[in-house]
Amino acid sequence: MGRKPCCDKLGVKKGPWSAEEDKMLVDFILTNGQCCWRAVPKLAGLLRCGKSCRLRWTNYLRPDLKRGLLNDDEEQLVIDLHARLGNRWSKIAARLPGRTDNEIKNHWNTHIKKKLLKMGIDPLTHEPLNKQLGSLGSASESGDDQPPATGKVAHHTATESSSQQSEAPTTVDSLLDDDFPLVGSPWPSSEADGGSSGMPAWDGESEADWLLDYHQLSVLEFGLENLFGGDVNPPLTY
């Protein structure tokens, strides 16, 4: 038996959100908090599915979101994190306060990917493209746990004209252990998770969770009462 759709297709609105819908959703979450996304549309009086509400909130209406393009430091951090985490955008986003996985993913696909390709770096492996053709071969490919830092070196070169690390709010090395697996390096053996998915159980998760908690704490400190006010960029410009 197949799964039911996440929401009734009939009577569910799709497409861009109106200012009124946004207000209804924000009002509801401010009053009731985030829970039970499936019930949100009904309770908030929205003709949307819960999934759509959650996406709208997390990607656009959340009060702690930054706006605008990623700056050089953030971009560097994304590249470094991507080298370690791969396309796990939510994990990457958790280390960039005020940024969403969607935003980072978009920026990666529209900017960083092209930038790296232009520099001759494979955005997937973070290694020089010509190395993959077998012409370089300086670093050992063997499965030593020590990550070959080729990607990182190359990326720092990419932004060497910018502020390097001096003004960076955080560096990836300060956030992550070297134990964290690199893309392209073998993941921990799959016995832990049954080996069926591409997402192995990862012992470094606990640290990731700590960082996530840190981020969430900062969000809490920000306070919902600041929603749409003060320093926060208004979520809507209709």
Partner DNA sequence: AAGCCTCACAACCGCAATAAT
Partner DNA sequence: AATTATTGCGGTTGTGAGGCT
What amino acid occupies position 181?
P
Among 199, 218, 226, 233, binds DNA (CB under 7 A): 199
Nearer to DNA among residue 139 and residue 193 (C-beta): 193
Q: Of all helices (H) and strands (E), which one includes residue 85?
A: helix 72-85
Token pair listed for 93: 């986003």
**In the set 66, 71, 72, 88, which binds DNA (CB under 7 A)?**
88
Binding mask of the shown chain, residues 47 to 66, with x at each position contacting DNA by CB under 7 A: ---xxx-xxx--xx------
- CB nearer to DNA: pick between 107 and 156: 107
111-130: which residues touch DNA (CB under 7 A)?
A: 111, 114
List the structure tokens of 165.
């690390």
Q: Is 215 in the site for DNA (CB under 7 A)?
A: no
DSSP-assigned beta bridge partners for residue 121 = 128
Residue 171's contacts (CB-CB under 8 Å, 6 or more residues apart) are 77, 80, 165
Identity of the residue, 13 or 156, whose beta carbon is nearer to DNA in the bound complex: 13
Find the part of the chain contacting DNA (CB under 7 A) among 130-138, 154-162, 167-175, 190-198: 190-198
Residues composing the chain: 238
The answer to whether the beta carbons of residues 236 and 67 sit under 8 Å apart is no
The residue behind tokens 């990457």 is 92
Which one of the spans 45-53, 71-79, 132-140, 165-173 is the region binding DNA (CB under 7 A)?
A: 45-53
Closest residue by Cα to residue 34 from 11, 13, 58, 17: 58
Nearer Cβ to DNA (156/215): 215
Using CA atoms of 185, 191, 192, 193 in order, give the dihedral in degrees to the nearest 10. 90
User: Closer to DNA at the Cβ: 52 or 150?
Assistant: 52
Binding region for DNA (CB under 7 A) = 1, 3-4, 6, 13-17, 35-39, 50-52, 54-56, 59-60, 68-69, 87-91, 101-103, 105-107, 109-111, 114, 193, 196-199
